[in-house]
Amino acid sequence: MIGLLLIMALPTTIPSGEEPLVDVAPLHPRFRLDIRYATADNFAKVKAYPVARCVLRKSVAEMAVRAQRWLDERHPRYALLFKDCYRPDRVQRVLFEAVRGTKMQGYVANPNTKTGSIHSYGAAIDLTLHEDGVEVDMGTIYDFLGKLAEPRHEERFVAEGKLTRQQVENRLVLRRAMTEGGGFVTIPNEWWHFNAAPAPAIRKRFSRLDVPLESIP
């Protein structure tokens, strides 16, 4: 019942006075999309999005452009490859149900709470790097729900031979582009995930949304 009430209470349109959600792909010619939740090729094994789009709050999308410009200046062979951006709360529920009660549950934000996922505020990005359309090796696939994907364990896994030094260096290029170039912040358990600001600040600034992707202009 609590989860149902949360669904009913969330906005299905952008609240008046809040930043719009904008498409990211047209903002830089080197951006590429690989939106896995628009296919069944993801950990939940379901097609959760009706369209393959990356939309973010306008200011967050501009941060992603700055991250790409940082790459253009320092690592020009690399560009950003977006895996997931704004995620309607209804989709977060589908993803959470896929892991509920399993050892992977801790990797997916619980939508049956007051806070939910930062993706549902339009202020989080999942992404990696590509080189001429070829995805850069980060040591795990996107959405690998396990410790090998956690930045906090990288040095130990290099020492154990489970990650190579080059794979970790690739992750560091992505992290520096997003944090130094774009101003994003990291989380400790996913190398691909970046928030536009610490979660409490995002929740004060933006509403958690259940706006369908296909309804966004």
90-126 burial, b at 16+ Cβ within 10 Å, e below that, comes to bbbbbbbebbeeeeeeebbbebeeeebbbbbbbbbbb
pLDDT at 9: 78
Q: What is the pLDDT of residue 2?
A: 44
Indicate the class that CATH gives domain 2-14+21-215.
alpha beta
Res 6: pLDDT? 47
**Interval 65-81 mean pLDDT:** 98
pLDDT, the chain, mean: 94
At position 47, the amino acid (one-letter code) is K
Nearest one of 190, 174, 106, 102 to 137, comparing CA atoms: 174
Lowest mean pLDDT among 53-57, 62-66, 103-107: 103-107
Would you place residue 8 in the very low, low, confident or very high pLDDT band (cuts 50, 70, 90)?
A: low
- Domains of the chain, by residue range, sit at 2-14+21-215
Average pLDDT over residues 19-23: 98
Q: What is the pLDDT of residues 139-155, one digit of tens each?
A: 999 999 999 999 999 99
